[in-house]
Chain A
Amino acid sequence: MKKILLLFLLFATLTNFSGYAQERIVTGKVTGADGTGLPGVNVTLKGTSSGTITDVEGSFSISVAVADAELLFSFVGYVTESVKVGNSTTLSIQLTEDIATLQEVVVSGLATSVKRSNLANSVASITAKELVGTTRPVTLDGALNGKLVGANISANSGAPGGGFSVRLRGISSINQNSEPLYIIDGVYLDNSQFQTGAGTGPFSGATGQTSGTQDQATNRIADINPADIENIEVLKGPSAAAIYGSRANAGVILITTKKGKAGKTTVQFGQDIGFAEALHLVGIHKTPWDTNKINAGVFLLSNATMATLFAANGSGAKTSDYEKEIYGNTGALSTSRLNVSGGTDKMKFFVAGSSTDEKGIQKRTGFTRNSIRVNLDFKVSKAIDFAMTSNYLSTSTSRSFSGNDNNGVSLGYNLAYLPNWLEQHPVNGIYPTNPLTGQNPLQIVDLAENNETTNRFIQSFSTNIFLLNKADHSLKLSIQGGVDFLLTESEVYMSDEIQFQKNRANPGASRYTKSRNLSTNLQGFLVDELKYKDFNFTTSLGAIRLTTERDISSIQGEGLKPGQRNPNTGAVRTPNSFFAKWQDVGFVAQEEINWGDKVIVTGGIRFDKSSLNGDYQKLYPFGKASLAVNLTNFSFWKFDPISALKLRVAYGQTGNSPSFGSKFTALNDVLIGGRSGYVPNSVYGNAGIKPETANEIEFGADFGFLKNRITLEATYYTKNVVDFIDVFNLSPGTGVTQFSAYNIGDLENTGVELSLGATVVTNSKVTWNTQLSYWQNRSKITKLIVPEYVVGSSGFGAFGTNRIRLNESPSAWYGTPLVGGQRTKYENSQPDYQISWRNSITFLTNFEFSFLFHTSQGNFNASLNQELTDEGGTSPDWSNKAADGITPVGVARQLGQPGVTTRQFIQDASYIKLREVALYYNVPVKSLPGSWKNSIEGIRVGVSGNNLALWTNYYGYDPEASNFGNRPVGGGVDLMSFPSSRRMFFHLTVTF
Chain B
Amino acid sequence: MKNFKKIFSIFLLGLFGVTSCDVDNTIDPNRASVGSVEKNPSQNQINFLAVGLQSAMRDGIRDFYLNTGTVGREIVYSASTDNRYFNELLGTEAANFGGANDPNGIFNTYYNAFSQGRRRAEVFTRSAETAAILTTAQKAGIKGFARTVQAYLALNLLNMQNTKGIRETFGDLSSPGDLLKPGPFGTYITGLTLIKGYLDEGATALAAAGTSFAFPMTSGWAGFDTPATFLTFNRALAARVAMYQLDWPGMITALNASFLNIAGPLTTGPKYTYSTTPGDLVNTLWHNPNDNGAPYVIFDQLVTDAESGDTRLSKVALRTTPRASGQAIVSNNEVVMYATNVSPVSILRNEELILMLAEARIQTNDLPGGIAALDVIRTASGLPTMAVAKPAVTTQAQLLDEVLNQRRYSLFWEGHRWIDVRRYNKIGILPLQGLVSGNTYVVFPQFSRPDAEVQWDKANP
Q: Which residues of A approach B to under 8 Å, CB–CB?
A: 1, 3-4, 7-8, 11, 205, 207-208, 298-306, 405-408, 413, 417, 433-439, 467-468, 475, 477, 479, 481, 500, 502-506, 522-524, 526, 542-545, 558, 571-575, 577-585, 609-611, 616-617, 661, 664-682, 684, 729-737, 739, 786-790, 796-798, 801, 816-818, 821, 823, 868, 871, 887, 891, 894-898, 901
> Using Cβ atoms and an 8 Å threshold, which residues of chain A touch B17?
1, 3-4
Query: Among A417, A682, A788, which residue has the most Cβ atoms of chain B within 10 A?
Result: A682
> Using Cβ atoms and an 8 Å threshold, which residues of chain B touch A789?
452, 455
Q: Does B112 contact A (CB under 8 A)?
A: yes
- Asked, given contacts A505-B340, A682-B112, whether A801 binds B104 with beta carbons under 8 Å apart, the answer is yes
> Using Cβ atoms and an 8 Å threshold, which residues of chain B touch A435?
292, 321
> Using Cβ atoms and an 8 Å threshold, which residues of chain B touch A434?
292
Q: How far is the CB of B83 from chain A (nearest CB, A)?
A: 7
- B34 near A610: Cβ-Cβ < 8 Å: no
- B18 near A505: Cβ-Cβ < 8 Å: no
**In the bound complex, how far is the Cα of B271 from the Cα of A673, in angstroms?**
11
- Asked, given contacts A666-B30, A677-B55, A734-B170, whether A303 binds B324 with beta carbons under 8 Å apart, the answer is yes
Beyond A503-B288, A558-B276, A816-B93, 16 additional pairs, beta carbon < 8 A: A4-B14, A7-B13, A298-B324, A302-B322, A406-B80, A407-B80, A437-B81, A524-B11, A581-B29, A617-B23, A667-B52, A674-B275, A676-B279, A736-B179, A798-B102, A823-B104
- B112 near A672: Cβ-Cβ < 8 Å: no
- B34 near A732: Cβ-Cβ < 8 Å: no
Partner of B87, one of A526, A678, A801, A895: A895
Partner of A439, one of B50, B278, B293: B293
Query: Among A3, A523, A669, which residue has the most Cβ atoms of chain B within 10 A?
Result: A669
- Asked, given contacts A302-B324, A673-B218, whether A664 binds B450 with beta carbons under 8 Å apart, the answer is no
- A523 near B19: Cβ-Cβ < 8 Å: yes
Q: Give residues 291-342 of B contacting A (CB, 8 Å).
A: 291-294, 321-324, 326-327, 330, 340-342
- B284 near A207: Cβ-Cβ < 8 Å: yes
Partner of B459, one of A523, A670, A786: A786
- A731 near B330: Cβ-Cβ < 8 Å: no
Interface segment, one of B114-122, B402-410, B426-434: B114-122
Q: Closest chain A residue to B291 by CB distance?
A: A503
Q: How far is the CB of B353 from chain A (nearest CB, A)?
A: 24
**In the bound complex, how far is the Cα of B451 from the Cα of A797, in angstroms?**
12
- B96 near A817: Cβ-Cβ < 8 Å: yes
Q: How far is the CB of A323 from chain B (nearest CB, A)?
A: 18
- A666 near B51: Cβ-Cβ < 8 Å: no
- A671 near B277: Cβ-Cβ < 8 Å: yes
> Using Cβ atoms and an 8 Å threshold, which residues of chain A touch B119?
680, 734-736
> Which label, helix, strand, loop or mixed, suits the secondary structure of the A interface?
mixed
- B182 near A733: Cβ-Cβ < 8 Å: yes
Q: Does B391 contact A (CB under 8 A)?
A: no
Q: Closest chain B residue to A208 by CB distance?
A: B284
Q: How far is the CB of B380 from chain A (nearest CB, A)?
A: 28
Q: Closest chain A residue to B82 by CB distance?
A: A406
**In the bound complex, how far is the Cα of B49 from the Cα of A468, in angstroms?**
66
- B219 near A732: Cβ-Cβ < 8 Å: no
**In the bound complex, how far is the Cα of B287 from the Cα of A789, in angstroms?**
35
Q: Give residues 18-56 of B contacting A (CB, 8 Å).
A: 18-37, 47-56
Could you jot down 26 A-B contacts, CB within 8 Å?
A302-B323, A406-B81, A406-B82, A407-B294, A477-B10, A503-B293, A523-B18, A524-B14, A524-B15, A575-B278, A616-B23, A667-B37, A667-B48, A673-B51, A673-B219, A677-B52, A677-B54, A679-B116, A679-B120, A684-B34, A730-B182, A735-B119, A823-B104, A896-B93, A898-B438, A901-B96
**In the bound complex, how far is the Cα of B321 from the Cα of A434, in angstroms?**
12
Q: How far is the CB of B413 from chain A (nearest CB, A)?
A: 17
Q: Closest chain A residue to B450 by CB distance?
A: A732
- A896 near B80: Cβ-Cβ < 8 Å: no
**In the bound complex, how far is the Cα of B18 from the Cα of A823, in angstroms?**
55
Q: Does B79 contact A (CB under 8 A)?
A: yes
> Using Cβ atoms and an 8 Å threshold, which residues of chain B touch A522?
18-19
> Using Cβ atoms and an 8 Å threshold, which residues of chain A touch B78?
300
**In the bound complex, how far is the Cα of B450 from the Cα of A675, in angstroms?**
34
Q: How far is the CB of A370 from chain B (nearest CB, A)?
A: 33
**In the bound complex, how far is the Cα of B97 from the Cα of A675, in angstroms?**
43
Closest 4 CB pairs of A and B: A735-B119, A677-B51, A673-B218, A438-B293
- Asked, given contacts A672-B55, A798-B105, whether A526 binds B32 with beta carbons under 8 Å apart, the answer is no
> Using Cβ atoms and an 8 Å threshold, which residues of chain B touch A734?
115, 119, 167, 170-171, 178-179, 182
- B51 near A798: Cβ-Cβ < 8 Å: no
- B18 near A481: Cβ-Cβ < 8 Å: yes
**In the bound complex, how far is the Cα of B17 from the Cα of A8, in angstroms?**
13
> Using Cβ atoms and an 8 Å threshold, which residues of chain B touch A896?
83, 87-88, 92-93, 326, 439
Query: Among B6, B23, B55, B286, which residue has the most Cβ atoms of chain A within 10 A?
Result: B23
Q: Closest chain B residue to A306 by CB distance?
A: B324
- B120 near A305: Cβ-Cβ < 8 Å: no
Q: Which residues of B approach A to under 8 Å, CB–CB?
A: 3, 6-7, 10-11, 13-15, 17-37, 47-56, 58, 78-84, 87-88, 92-93, 96-98, 102, 104-106, 108, 111-112, 115-120, 122-123, 166-167, 170-171, 178-180, 182, 185, 216, 218-220, 273, 275-282, 284, 286-288, 291-294, 321-324, 326-327, 330, 340-342, 438-440, 450-460
> Using Cβ atoms and an 8 Å threshold, which residues of chain A touch B179?
684, 730, 734, 736, 739
**In the bound complex, how far is the Cα of B293 from the Cα of A477, in angstroms?**
65
- A674 near B459: Cβ-Cβ < 8 Å: no
**In the bound complex, how far is the Cα of B27 from the Cα of A156, in angstroms?**
34
Q: How far is the CB of A735 from chain B (nearest CB, A)?
A: 3
**In the bound complex, how far is the Cα of B457 from the Cα of A403, in angstroms?**
36
**In the bound complex, how far is the Cα of B279 from the Cα of A577, in angstroms?**
13
Partner of A573, one of B22, B166, B278, B293: B278
- B324 near A301: Cβ-Cβ < 8 Å: yes
**In the bound complex, how far is the Cα of B323 from the Cα of A436, in angstroms?**
10
- A732 near B21: Cβ-Cβ < 8 Å: no
> Using Cβ atoms and an 8 Å threshold, which residues of chain B touch A467?
7, 10
- A677 near B50: Cβ-Cβ < 8 Å: yes
Q: How far is the CB of B248 from chain A (nearest CB, A)?
A: 31
**In the bound complex, how far is the Cα of B116 from the Cα of A611, in angstroms?**
30
- A479 near B11: Cβ-Cβ < 8 Å: no
- A680 near B13: Cβ-Cβ < 8 Å: no
Q: Closest chain B residue to A892 by CB distance?
A: B438
- B34 near A301: Cβ-Cβ < 8 Å: no
- A407 near B87: Cβ-Cβ < 8 Å: no
- Asked, given contacts A408-B81, A674-B275, A821-B98, whether A479 binds B104 with beta carbons under 8 Å apart, the answer is no
Partner of A787, one of B48, B322, B439, B456: B456
- A505 near B286: Cβ-Cβ < 8 Å: yes
- B28 near A661: Cβ-Cβ < 8 Å: yes
> Using Cβ atoms and an 8 Å threshold, which residues of chain A touch B280?
670-672
Q: How far is the CB of B15 from chain A (nearest CB, A)?
A: 5
- Asked, given contacts A305-B322, A408-B80, A611-B26, whether A677 binds B47 with beta carbons under 8 Å apart, the answer is yes
Q: How far is the CB of A803 from chain B (nearest CB, A)?
A: 9
Q: Closest chain B residue to A309 by CB distance?
A: B321
Partner of A4, one of B18, B55, B294, B460: B18
Q: Closest chain A residue to B282 by CB distance?
A: A505
**In the bound complex, how far is the Cα of B20 from the Cα of A438, in angstroms?**
58
- Asked, given contacts A610-B23, A672-B273, whether A731 binds B293 with beta carbons under 8 Å apart, the answer is no
- Asked, given contacts A301-B322, A505-B282, A736-B116, whether A664 binds B31 with beta carbons under 8 Å apart, the answer is yes
Q: Closest chain A residue to B107 by CB distance?
A: A797
**In the bound complex, how far is the Cα of B81 from the Cα of A407, in angstroms?**
7
Q: How far is the CB of B198 from chain A (nearest CB, A)?
A: 14
- A437 near B80: Cβ-Cβ < 8 Å: yes
> Using Cβ atoms and an 8 Å threshold, which residues of chain B touch A413?
81
Q: How far is the CB of A919 from chain B (nearest CB, A)?
A: 45
- A299 near B324: Cβ-Cβ < 8 Å: yes
Q: How far is the CB of A693 from chain B (nearest CB, A)?
A: 18
**In the bound complex, how far is the Cα of B24 from the Cα of A303, in angstroms?**
64
> Using Cβ atoms and an 8 Å threshold, which residues of chain A touch B122?
735
- A674 near B81: Cβ-Cβ < 8 Å: no
